[in-house]
Each structure stands twice: as structure tokens, then as C-alpha cells.
Amino acid sequence: MTDPRPPRILAVDDDPDLLLLIRSALQGEGHQTLVASDGRAALDLIREEEPDVVLLDLMMPVLDGWGVLRSLADRPTRPRVIVLSAKTADEDIARAFELGAAEYVVKPFDPARLLGTVREVLDLTDQQVTTRREEAISTHSRRDLAS
């Protein structure tokens, strides 16, 4: 039997305008949407609300996205994480996947594309997430070495 509740998505970013845009787009798709403006608040919401997906900025005050990813790595069960970042260096992308990201979206992004990425990540099996993560690490690590 499938879960009758709509997917629960947590958006984490220190830009309130971006959070409003993301929340509006996600709610328009029928997702339950939570927001946090820093990593510490995000970890509290993850513990309390158990979202299915976390949209995570890397550069934030209090606790950055790297710290959130490291904290989630220690959890036996965790949500799938889509990193949303202006960081485009292969080393940053590879690091995000090494720390458990399921996908990486570069800012600025098209809201419709983000919604497609959320749908895609929700539909993946755990094995598919692992395979995609390994491929991304390999691809971005090779690019970093070639530079």
C-alpha cells in the first residue's frame, strides 16, 4: 500500500525570497513544505518532521550545508538531499555526493526544473540513488584531477 500523504519537502536556505519561491512551487505541486533558514533549524525539523526530501543550500549561517550533510551521515535513516548551491567547482559537487547528496542543482535554477528533480529523486530506489551518487563522485573527481 502506498503512503497516502503527499511528499514532505524541507527547503533550507538563508535567502527568504528564495524560500518563498521554492515553497510556492512545491505547494503548487501538492507537496507538504517546510522551511528553515539555517542548518541547525533544518536538523531539528528533520528530526521532528521526517521529510522525504531536503533541498539544502551549502552556504548558510549558524550551521552550513556541509555540517548538515555530515550530521545526516550518522543517522540510520535519512531523507534524500538535493543540494542547491551557487558552488560549481567539481570538488564541491563531488564532496556533496560523497557526503550523501542524491542530486546537485546549481543556482540560479529554473523552478520547473527543480520540481522535476524533486519528482525524479522521490521516484528513485535506494539502489538507484547509490548508483547515481557513485557515478557523480567518479565524474566530478575525474574532472577535478584533469584540471
- What residue numbers bound the domain in which 129 lies? 8-146
1 pLDDT band (50/70/90 cuts)? Answer: very low
Alpha helix positions (H), 34-110: 39-49, 65-73, 90-98
CA quadruple 134, 32, 112, 56: dihedral positive or negative? negative
Q: How far apart are CA 57 and CA 39, in angstroms?
A: 9
In a domain, 70, yes or no: yes
Question: Which amino acid does the sequence have at 84?
Answer: L
Question: Considering the entire predicted model, what is its pTM?
Answer: 0.92
Q: Domain count for the chain, please give it.
A: 1
- pLDDT greater at residue 97 or residue 142: 97
Peptide bond into 7 cis (omega under 30): no
Q: Is residue 101 part of a domain?
A: yes
- Helix then strand then coil, in percent of the chain rounded to 5, is 50, 15, 30
Tell me: the pLDDT tens digits for 83-140? Answer: 999 999 999 999 999 999 999 999 999 999 999 999 999 999 999 999 999 999 999 8
Residue 119 lies in a domain: yes
Looking up residue 92, the CATH number of its domain turns out to be 3.40.50.2300
